[in-house]
């Protein structure tokens, strides 16, 4: 007998991708990724959706961040952002589902 498909809540997606829930929510809304179904009041997503969300998260990070420097012993981190990446965030209209 085959296993039923694994379905993941937004929180589980965030945990698996080691990121904050609000970043996952942003990607789901802005990329219009549809939930596979519902478990009570929680949306659930397939593993294919997990892969899609992970890909979009990587793409978003690549558009925003140009370079990250870490000096190890000093514990200092310097992040250089792409100017166009930051600007594009302010220009993308975000539609929130009602």
| Cβ neighbours around 45 below 10 Å, total | 23
List Cα–Cα distances, 3 to 6, 7, 47, 78, 89, in angstroms: 8, 12, 14, 46, 40
pLDDT confidence of residue 98: 43
pLDDT confidence of residue 2: 80
**Gap between the Cα atoms of 53 and 56, Å rounded:** 5
Following CA atoms 67, 68, 70, 71 in sequence, which dihedral angle do they give, to the nearest 10 degrees?
20
**Gap between the Cα atoms of 98 and 89, Å rounded:** 22
Residue ranges of alpha helices (H) inside 31-75 are: 47-64
pLDDT confidence of residue 57: 92
**Gap between the Cα atoms of 53 and 37, Å rounded:** 16
pLDDT confidence of residue 66: 81
Q: What is the pTM of this model?
A: 0.69
Is domain 8-91 given the CATH code 1.10.1660 in the classification? yes
pLDDT confidence of residue 64: 80
Give per-10-residue mean pLDDT for the chain (98 aa): 86 96 94 94 96 93 82 85 68 50
């Amino acid at each position: 007998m085959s296993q039923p498909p694994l379905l993941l809540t937004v929180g589980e997606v965030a945990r698996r991708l080691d990121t904050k829930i609000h970043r996952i929510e942003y990607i789901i809304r802005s990329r219009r990724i549809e939930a596979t179904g519902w478990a009570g009041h929680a949306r659930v997503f397939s593993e294919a959706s997990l892969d899609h969300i992970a890909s979009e998260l990587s793409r978003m990070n690549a558009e925003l961040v140009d370079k990250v420097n870490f000096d190890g012993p000093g514990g200092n981190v310097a992040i250089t952002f792409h100017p166009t990446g930051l600007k594009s965030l302010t220009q993308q209209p975000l539609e929130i589902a009602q």
